[in-house]
Amino acid sequence: MTSNYFEILRGGVNTTFQDKGRENLYHIGIPFSGVMDNRNFLLANKLVGNHLTAPVIEFAYQGPHLRYTGDQLNFVITGDVIFKIKKKDYEIDGDCYHSYHLENGDEINIISTNKSVYGYFAIGSEIDLKFQWNSCSINTKANIGSNNGKKLDSGQKINLLKINSDKTLKKVNYINSKIENIRVIKGTNFDYFSDEGKKIFFEKEFIVSKLSDRMGMRLEGPKIENIINTNIKSEGLVKGVIQVPADGNPIIMLSDHGTVGGYPKIGVVVSVDYDRLVQLAPGSKVKFQEIELSDAETLFKLYEMETKNLLNQI
């Protein structure tokens, strides 16, 4: 058996293995996890000829610096990412959405995401990973998933099992669009808030706080006043729920969120906006815009069609 592997020279800020995540475990307290930006995940896998739901490396802000040892393989980076590929005699700036060959001794240095948060590194190979509940996704809060549920760190190795035989290089033209208006459906506790609070929620600007991670996105801005109760009996949460605790600052539940919570829900971000929501870096300005359920459903269908079209171009 040949030994093909990556050495991690620098782990990056929050580098984890992710895939489609875990289903049907909310009732025991385990969230979906999985990739934050689903479209970029699917594109990454398609560009290296993997199954669409194969494990990838997700990184936030600064990514990992890796050195490869082994037989030739393909890799790709998706998102809005600045990275360098270091060959024996030269170094090039990499382009996202272009797959590249990687040879023995080459290095990939993922310097940073550009005005966004998450990027994806897909390898045209099966990776040696531990799966829990049919997913490798690392949940660092519960220490579940591959790598004992911990983020990847320098000095570690990523072992590969079987390199894809098809090494055709592929690319797709895609530009990540930015989002400023986040569309929401009113939450089940919308009426807990004062008229002024409701008005603020839909009319004022909020800033994404530095205290945001895979669990949740905290927002800062004018306070949203609660006139009924700042606590509710704990009940289930889903991705995209916007809770407003007693301090009046909204928190949006993201992929690793706690499965139940006791703060009133003012709104829920619609599914179509999720991939772009998670890419909002701290300091970004956002506004909420109310839409109806039927419109949210239609917009999601269109988004899915667009994703399929992109995948078909590869």
Give the interface with other proteins as residue ranges (CB under 8 A).
23-30, 32, 132-133, 141-144, 185, 187-188, 233-238, 240-241, 258-261, 265, 268-271, 293, 296-297, 300, 304
Least separation in angstroms between residue 209's CB and other proteins is: 17
CA nearest neighbour of 182 among 242, 224, 225, 238: 242
> Measured in whole angstroms, how far is the alpha carbon of residue 178 from the centre of its chain?
15
Q: Which is nearer to other proteins, 70 or 240 (CB)?
A: 240
CB-CB contact of 238 with 161 (8 Å): no
Q: Are strands 107-113 and 81-86 parallel, antiparallel or unpaired?
A: antiparallel
CB of 144 to other proteins, least distance (A): 6
Is residue 229 within 8 Å of 193, Cβ to Cβ?
no
Give the nearer residue to other proteins in terms of CB position, either 97 or 274.
274
Q: What one-character DSSP code corresponds to residue 226?
A: B
Return the residue matching tokens 């919570």. 261
- DSSP element (H, E) containing 110: strand 107-113
Residue 286 beta carbon to other proteins: minimum distance, rounded to whole angstroms: 17
Closest to 61 in 3D by CA, of 213, 271, 274, 215:
213
Which of these, 121, 136, 6, lies nearest to 60 by C-alpha position?
A: 121
What is the Cα–Cα distance from 267 to 185, expressed in whole angstroms? 6
Q: Which CB atom, from 3 or from 229, has the smaller least distance to other proteins? A: 229
The two tokens of residue 165 are 């035989």
CB of 80 to other proteins, least distance (A): 25
Of 76 and 244, CB closest to other proteins: 244
Q: How far is the CB of 196 from other proteins (least distance, A)?
A: 24
Helix 293-312 crosses helix 38-47 at what angle (to 10 degrees)?
10
Closest CA to 160 of 1, 5, 2: 5
Name the residue nearer to other proteins (CB basis): 21 or 55. 21
| Cβ at position 118, least distance to other proteins in Å | 21
Comparison of 123 and 268: residue with beta carbon closer to other proteins: 268
Residue among 32 and 288 whose Cβ is closer to other proteins: 32
Q: How far is the CB of 259 from other proteins (least distance, A)?
A: 4
User: Nearer Cβ to other proteins, position 21 or 79?
Assistant: 21
Q: Is the dihedral of CA 106, 111, 115, 118 positive or negative?
A: positive
Give the pairing type, strands 181-186 and 285-290. parallel
Residue with tokens 């669990």: 215
Least CB distance from residue 37 to other proteins, whole Å? Answer: 16
